[in-house]
Amino acid sequence: MKRFPRSTIATTVAGAAAFALILTGCSAGAGSEQATNAKVKLTVATFNEFGYDSLFKEYEAANPNVTIVNKKAATSNEARDNLTTRLAAGSGLSDVEAIEVDWLPELLQYSDQFADLSSADVKGRWLDWKTKAATDATGRLIAYGTDIGPEGVCYRSDLFKAAGLPTDRAEVAKLLGTTWDSYYAAGAKFKAAGTNVPWFDSAGATWQGVVNQIPNAYEKKDGTVIATENPAVKKAYTSVLAASSTLSAHLAQWSDDWTKSFQNNGFATQLCPGWMLGVISGNAAGVTGWDIADTFPGGGGNWGGSYLTVPNQSKHQAEAKKLAAWLTAPEQQLKAFASKGTFPSQVDALSSDKLLGSTNAFFNNAPTGQILANRAAAIDVTPFKGVKYFPINDAMQQALTRVESGTMSADQSWNQWVADVKALG
Amino acid sequence: MTTAAAEVKARSIRRITLSHRLSRWDVRFSPYLYISPFFILFTVMGLFPLLYTAWVSVHDWNLIGGQGDFVGLKNFATVLAQPYFWTSLRNTFSIFLLSSVPQVLAAIAIAAVLDFNLRGKTFWRMGVLLPYVVAPVAVALIFNDLFGDRYGLINSGIMSLGLEPIRWHVDVIPSHLAIATMVNFRWTGYNALIFLAAMQAVPRDYYEAAIIDGANRLRTFWSITVPLLRPIIIFVILTSTIGGLQIFDEARMFDNVGQGGANRQWQTLTLYIYELGWGQRNFGRASAVAWLLFLIIIIIAILNFVITRRIAGSADRKLRIRAKGIS
């Protein structure tokens, strides 16, 4: 008989409870500490690919008192849900939380929930607009910039070859041209060759390229929502869907099917911000033929880009701030770029030889550093993103998906989007 | 007589001693004390959130910003005017029916089979419970490989037969079927075990008597097992109604966006609450939907209770009449 007598169980339970009390007592007392050598465990929440995996190890080696636990969310949406939930709950956030530029404006409204990260050490570290976007009305800097998303066009040179199109980077750039029309026209040529592979992955991804070139797509500078009356948005909607009807693989971006399509010749081109390089090489592991062309339809474009914040909830704010500052320093960002292609937003890194001389083996040894630097220089529009940008754009993505999946006509779906925007109140 | 009077007097004196009073209180109040932990917990964990949700639902309330102005029933009116509310109500009922009905029927059938004298009884019984142990999110991950629109296992099979693939993530009914399948996978075994436990409590002499009278297995199942399971059937239907109207994990994990589809093809009411509360950060409206869902569940639960009692009751009466006839 291996049954515990009741008294033993009671003692065990009581002991465990007492132990738990001691533990909570400890963690409650640790709040006010400065950056010292006391042992700390820092949690870092990121999404997609930040390229931090080896950096965490490096930091741990240099700071033996710190252990880092990385929580990786699959999508930016998921990270946003998680962040807002825990912000509202008042606990449970990581010590360092990564956020994306699209939903940064929402968080700026509650900037008092985040630690002020401004300090003399980091002054002038980032591109001006990058820092400005993360500074609240009272001048507190709530987030350190990590990467920006200057966009090129990634393409499958093997599929281009099969379609009788040029495969060389420079020639492909010429073929794709610098306007959306020339990009779609190249797609029509590709399609005419009868390769039976769609030109691009989804209307949604193409939309991101187009909408990031509209200065005030959804909101005026004062925050008034103009999304549904803006002729530029309607025009973009119509043109993207017209192209998607013949050229798109109709794969909702980030869906399981989209991820798997990289292994199945799902599509021939993909709008490519720097951070997308890591996503593609991850999903398309084993597939040869990916390359990147130094051009972008409609001029330059920036898609996404992220920041690191330290929430006030963190019990180790000083340590967390130190880690965030270290991770976003130019040297570290260059390493992240080498690993996952997250293009630096730090001024010093942009002119570094390390960046400009870097190549990416997966993309046929393309000089990705130089290409993306050129692409960053080509950006001439900084789109305004207000408080409602994220939900409105999210609803737009779904409007595009409805048309692509054949659930609705373009007009019906537009009308539903208008209703969705109105319902945001 | 004097002795009797003294006795009465003595008794009345004794009645007011402290220990006596305590023991009277003990008898009168202790039972309530013993069951109080549940009710205290329920007040804190159940009743308070319920009332607080009602309080939130009559205010402007931002997820992060907190309480705003009192707006009365405006949130309810706004929500009821949203087409997505009605879509998600439809989806909730559709997924609920597609999951709960087959689930309860399959659970009874499986329980009946497990009730036979099988070899390796414990193995089979544990086997049906196994899916219940798997976390719903893990279930969703596994099933997403089956229900992929383009590269899913099922569609690969269908396409290799030369048929049109099923658009699981686009069309309404297929998406509901897929989600209901995940729910059923998880809960059927659990309900089967509850039924099995009840079946084992049915006295075996009933079956013996019936078999001697020439009833076959099917007949004994319908005429003895089912009527005697009446309370358990009511219990299982009630719990699966409550659970079925609150399906969240499976629907949320069904695609990577988690809002129930671009056209809300499979958005359930709980997902709608989530979208309002966390997507749009409008806690006032989210709470209004939560309260509407609560009312709907109560109505359905009452309806269910009445109907199942009537159905099971009539079967029970038949059994009793038959039993009378036999004797």
Whole-number Å distance between alpha carbons of B58 and B46? 19
Domain edges within chain B:
2-57, 82-326
Closest alpha carbon to A262 in A234, A281, A240: A281
User: Which one of A78, A107, A113, A257 makes the best mutation probe of the B interface by having the most chain B beta carbons within 10 Å?
Assistant: A257
* Same domain flag for A167 and A260: yes
Whole-number Å distance between alpha carbons of A363 and A60? 31
Q: Is A145 helix (H, G, I), strand (E, B) or coil?
A: strand
Residue A286 is assigned to a structural domain of this protein? yes
Give burial (CB, 10 Å; 0-12/13-18/19+) of A160: buried
Chain A hits for B64, CB-CB cut-off 8 Å, are 84, 87-88, 109-110, 113
Chain A hits for B143, CB-CB cut-off 8 Å, are none
pLDDT for A254: 87
Q: Which residues contact B119 (CB under 8 A, 6 or more apart)?
A: none
CA angle B288, B289, B292 (to 5 degrees): 90
Closest alpha carbon to B279 in A400, A205, A394, A113: A394
pLDDT for B160: 93
Residue A20 is assigned to a structural domain of this protein? no
For A118, other C-beta atoms within 10 Å of its C-beta total 16
* Same domain flag for A143 and A92: yes
Closest alpha carbon to B240 in B301, B193, B198, B303: B301
* Same domain flag for A101 and A183: no
Segments of chain B scoring below 70 in pLDDT = 1-16, 311-327
pLDDT for A27: 39
* Same domain flag for A105 and A182: no
* Same domain flag for A186 and A207: yes
Closest alpha carbon to B271 in A406, A81, A35: A81
Chain A hits for B149, CB-CB cut-off 8 Å, are 257
Chain A hits for B262, CB-CB cut-off 8 Å, are 252, 398-399, 401-402, 405, 407
ipTM exceeding cut-off 0.90 for this assembly: no
* Same domain flag for A224 and A245: yes
For A346, other C-beta atoms within 10 Å of its C-beta total 26
Q: What is the dihedral of CA B14, B16, B17, B18, to 10 degrees?
A: 150
Q: Which residues contact A365 (CB under 8 A, 6 or more apart)?
A: A359
* Same domain flag for A185 and A129: no
Chain A hits for B279, CB-CB cut-off 8 Å, are 81, 391, 394
Q: In which region does residue A298 sit, left (phi positive, over 0), alpha (psi from -120 to 50) or beta (all else)?
A: left
Residue A272 is assigned to a structural domain of this protein? yes
> Does A255 lie at the interface with B, CB-CB under 8 angstroms?
yes
DSSP B20: H
Tell me the pLDDT of chain A (425 aa) as tens digits: 334 444 444 444 444 444 443 443 343 333 344 455 788 999 999 998 898 999 999 999 999 999 999 999 888 888 998 998 898 888 999 999 999 998 899 899 889 999 999 998 898 999 888 998 899 888 999 999 999 999 999 999 999 999 999 999 999 999 999 999 999 999 999 999 988 999 999 999 999 999 999 999 999 988 899 999 999 999 999 999 999 999 999 998 888 899 999 999 999 999 999 989 989 999 999 999 999 999 999 989 999 899 999 999 999 999 999 999 999 999 999 999 988 889 999 999 998 998 999 999 999 999 999 999 999 999 888 888 888 998 999 999 999 999 999 999 999 999 999 999 999 87
| Binary contact (A252, B255; C-beta < 8 A) | yes
Are A150 and A269 contacting, i.e. CB atoms less than 8 angstroms apart? Answer: no
pLDDT for A156: 96
Chain B, nearest residue to A266 by Cα: B150
| Binary contact (A256, B148; C-beta < 8 A) | yes
Whole-number Å distance between alpha carbons of A14 and B318? 55
Whole-number Å distance between alpha carbons of A409 and B241? 36
Q: What is the dihedral of CA A363, A367, A373, A377, to 10 degrees?
A: -90
Are B285 and A396 contacting, i.e. CB atoms less than 8 angstroms apart? Answer: no
| Binary contact (B148, A406; C-beta < 8 A) | no
Closest alpha carbon to A44 in A307, A320, A350: A320
Whole-number Å distance between alpha carbons of A31 and A21? 17
Residue A42's DSSP bridge partners are A68
Closest alpha carbon to A53 in A79, A71, A28, A34: A71
pLDDT for B13: 55
CATH homologous superfamily of B82-326: MetI-like (1.10.3720.10)
pTM: 0.81
* Same domain flag for A123 and A214: no
* Same domain flag for A310 and A408: no
> Does A109 lie at the interface with B, CB-CB under 8 angstroms?
yes
How far is the CA of B225 from the CAs of A181, B111, B200, B211, B320, in angstroms?
Answer: 72, 11, 10, 13, 13
Element (H, E) at B192: helix B172-200
Chain B, nearest residue to A90 by Cα: B64
Give the pairing of strands A290-293 and A269-273.
Answer: unpaired
Are A395 and B275 contacting, i.e. CB atoms less than 8 angstroms apart? Answer: no
Residue A272's DSSP bridge partners are A152
Tokens of A199: 């030109």
Residue A27 is assigned to a structural domain of this protein? no
| Binary contact (A394, B279; C-beta < 8 A) | yes
* Same domain flag for A245 and A319: no
| Binary contact (A75, B167; C-beta < 8 A) | no
Give the pairing of strands A96-100 and A302-309.
Answer: antiparallel
| Binary contact (A81, B151; C-beta < 8 A) | no
User: Which one of B60, B64, B153, B278 makes the best mutation probe of the A interface by having the most chain A beta carbons within 10 Å?
Assistant: B64
> At CB < 8 Å, which residues of chain B contact A?
63-65, 78, 82-84, 144-145, 148-151, 167, 169-170, 255-259, 262-263, 265, 278-282
Please tell me the total count of domains within chain A.
Answer: 2
Q: Which residues contact A26 (CB under 8 A, 6 or more apart)?
A: none
Q: Which domain holds residue A221?
A: 149-303+370-423
Tokens of B279: 């997507």
Q: Give me the amino acid identity at A239.
A: S
Measure CA B21 to chain center: 45
For A215, other C-beta atoms within 10 Å of its C-beta total 11
The CATH number for A266's domain is 3.40.190.10
How far is the CA of A175 from the CAs of A294, A302, A369, A383, in angstroms?
Answer: 11, 22, 22, 27
Chain B hits for A257, CB-CB cut-off 8 Å, are 148-151
